[in-house]
Amino acid sequence: MSAGKIILPPATLGMLGGGQLARFFVIAAHEMGYRVMVLDPDKNSPAGVLADTHLCAAYDDRAALTRMADACAAVTTEFENVPASVLDALAESVPVHPAATAVAICQHRVSEKNFLRDHGFPHAPYAEINGEDDLPADGLYPGILKVARFGYDGKGQARVRDRDEALAAFRNFKSEQCVLEKMLTLDYEVSVVLARNAAGCVAPFPVAENIHRNGILDISIVPARGSAAVREQAQALARGVAEKLSYIGTLGVEFFVCEGRLYINEMAPRPHNSGHYTLDACVTNQFEQQIRALCGLPLGDARLHSPAVMVNLLGDIWRDGEPAWNTLLDQPDLKLHLYGKHEARPGRKMGHFTVIGNDADATLKSAMEARARIGVEG
């Protein structure tokens, strides 16, 4: 069922998933006057503890899905690994955005790469690997072998220098369907988060420059450094992706910049970690845009009002107990966001902070000093 009318507060909105992205969605929805029902199997889910209703059940639990369809005016998702079949089932009785067709493309690396190829978007050379015989002898090495499903934050990926290493990695992945992607020589990485509504209106946020450590986003710098031409092209390509997907909602598109040229790396059918800066540095944040698109409202102003640097806080800094938050909270230009997760583990995203200011260089310096004070290594 498609959304044919505007959904206004105090309607109940459904959220599949209960992590930090869903938590920010709940906060934004409550500020706008909506109620939220969260479906997540974790009794301690960060979004579930804030939601008006937490359905603690599996994503394909029939009774839970029936209850969500009956209670909610519209449903969305916080991550791409919710089965597309669940979205399709809900869509029979309630508006669901983004649609299952878009999520299915983004949640499967083979489908994602083929989508980019078929629509003429720039991407790294790749091969679909369904069996050992599909591993090429040369041409794509050094490369990265990635499992087609359920890989994120560097999981399910292996760097391979030749076919022998690719074969070993493929066997280590239990011969699951994979993509072998040629490694490119990077200048830097950027991303674009945008919103698109049912009327086809698109509101892109400013381009973020992203620095990763161990496959996990570490720092986002906004606006991205580099040329204005690259930033403009990144926004144009992201807009094109959203239009070809007939996308409704908030979408993240990640890019490699190589010798000044852009290549699309991945697409995320949801708000994106690199868009967290919008909470503090933009007129409208990415979660409010997700709600606006879901509810058929006009999109908000995505304008950046301050240069910003976002720093991820992983569970590693809890190694000696609770971090000394005063080292961050004493800084007046810094905004701290903790996700309320039940347990800190190395590599787990536990929170982030954003430093905002008037001067981009000074803001970056201030953020890096704060990052060191709280004990982030590297």
Q: Give dist(CA 116, CA 114) in Å, integer.
A: 5
Report whether 19 contacts 46 (CB < 8 A): yes
Task: Please write the tens of the pLDDT for every residue from 337-374.
Answer: 999 999 999 999 999 999 999 999 999 999 999 999 99
**pLDDT surpasses 80 at 152:** no
**pLDDT surpasses 90 at 158:** yes
> What structural domains and CATH numbers belong to the chain?
12-96 (3.40.50.20), 125-182 (3.30.1490.20), 188-373 (3.30.470.20)
Report whether 302 contacts 204 (CB < 8 A): yes
* Terminal Cα-to-Cα distance of the chain (whole angstroms): 49
Task: Please write the tens of the pLDDT for every residue from 298-344.
Answer: 999 999 999 999 999 999 999 999 999 999 999 999 999 999 999 99
Q: How far is CA 169 from CA 18, 137, 173, 215, in A?
A: 32, 15, 6, 17
Q: Please report which confidence band the pLDDT of residue 151 belongs to, taking 50, 70 and 90 as the band edges.
A: low
The mean of the pLDDT values for the chain is: 95
pLDDT of residue 150: 73
pLDDT of residue 3: 42
Percentage of residues of the chain with pLDDT beyond 90: 93
Report whether 301 contacts 283 (CB < 8 A): yes
Q: Please report which confidence band the pLDDT of residue 2 belongs to, taking 50, 70 and 90 as the band edges.
A: very low
Two tokens, residue 220? 């986002």
Task: Please write the tens of the pLDDT for every residue from 225-274.
Answer: 999 999 999 999 999 999 999 999 999 999 999 999 999 999 999 999 99
Task: Please write the tens of the pLDDT for every residue from 160-204.
Answer: 999 999 999 999 999 999 999 999 999 999 999 999 999 999 999
pLDDT of residue 1: 39
pLDDT of residue 154: 59
